[in-house]
């Protein structure tokens, strides 16, 4: 049984607010899953200043954007010019990133950090959290107001958002969930400009 992994989006928070949210939930390490760990609008969340601020607050920081980020370098992860989350989930680099998170759970209370405020609009939920849950790692999303939502609750919200039924005589619950992840992932996935 694994301890839970949290997720959080830095959104437009102040650095102090982000640190307070992490502290509120006992997080001891942030795993940055942004492919590009920089922000034009919120430079306090650029990789180096964020890492330094977290360390000063007594939290560990690790950059996992290469392994778990949404913008991929591997051509095999694209369907045309759009990232395909199913292909990403099968890549050895992504699987290695999941292994690193699982290993870190033995020593830290981890929060996956990305930019988006809403978990359903972020690959940290649609791609990374989904695959951690499949491995038996419980995932809990930290919302901007400090509230918590289990990944199962987030999936229920996603089904509602997409107007998908919970039960279908032709499909299993897992197949319905897979459709929800696929549809939302396609909407959110990074697309290369050509």
CB 18 within 8 A of CB 49: no
The per-residue pLDDT for range 61-119, each reduced to its tens digit, is 999 999 999 999 999 999 999 999 999 999 999 999 999 999 999 999 999 999 999 99
The per-residue pLDDT for range 43-63, each reduced to its tens digit, is 999 999 999 999 999 999 999
Give me the pLDDT at residue 1, please: 82
* 156 against 40, higher pLDDT: 156
The per-residue pLDDT for range 113-147, each reduced to its tens digit, is 999 999 999 999 999 999 999 999 999 999 999 99
Name the pTM for this structure: 0.95
């Amino acid at each position: 049984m694994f301890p839970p992994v949290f997720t959080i989006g830095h959104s437009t928070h102040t650095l102090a607010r982000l640190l307070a949210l992490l502290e509120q939930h006992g997080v001891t390490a942030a795993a940055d899953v942004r492919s590009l760990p920089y922000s034009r609008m919120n430079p306090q969340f650029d990789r180096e200043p964020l890492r330094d601020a977290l360390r000063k607050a007594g939290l560990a920081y690790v950059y996992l954007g290469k392994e778990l980020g949404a913008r991929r370098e591997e051509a095999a992860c694209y369907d045309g010019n759009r990232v395909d989350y199913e292909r990403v989930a099968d890549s050895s680099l992504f699987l290695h990133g999941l292994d690193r998170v699982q290993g870190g759970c033995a020593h830290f209370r981890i929060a996956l950090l990305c930019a988006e405020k809403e978990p359903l609009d972020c690959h940290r939920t649609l791609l990374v959290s989904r695959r951690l849950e499949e491995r038996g790692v419980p995932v809990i999303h930290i919302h901007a107001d400090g509230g918590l939502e289990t990944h199962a609750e987030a999936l229920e919200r996603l089904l509602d958002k997409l107007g998908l039924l919970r039960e279908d005589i032709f499909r299993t619950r897992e197949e319905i969930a897979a459709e929800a992840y696929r549809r939302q992932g396609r909407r959110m996935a990074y697309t290369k400009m050509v």
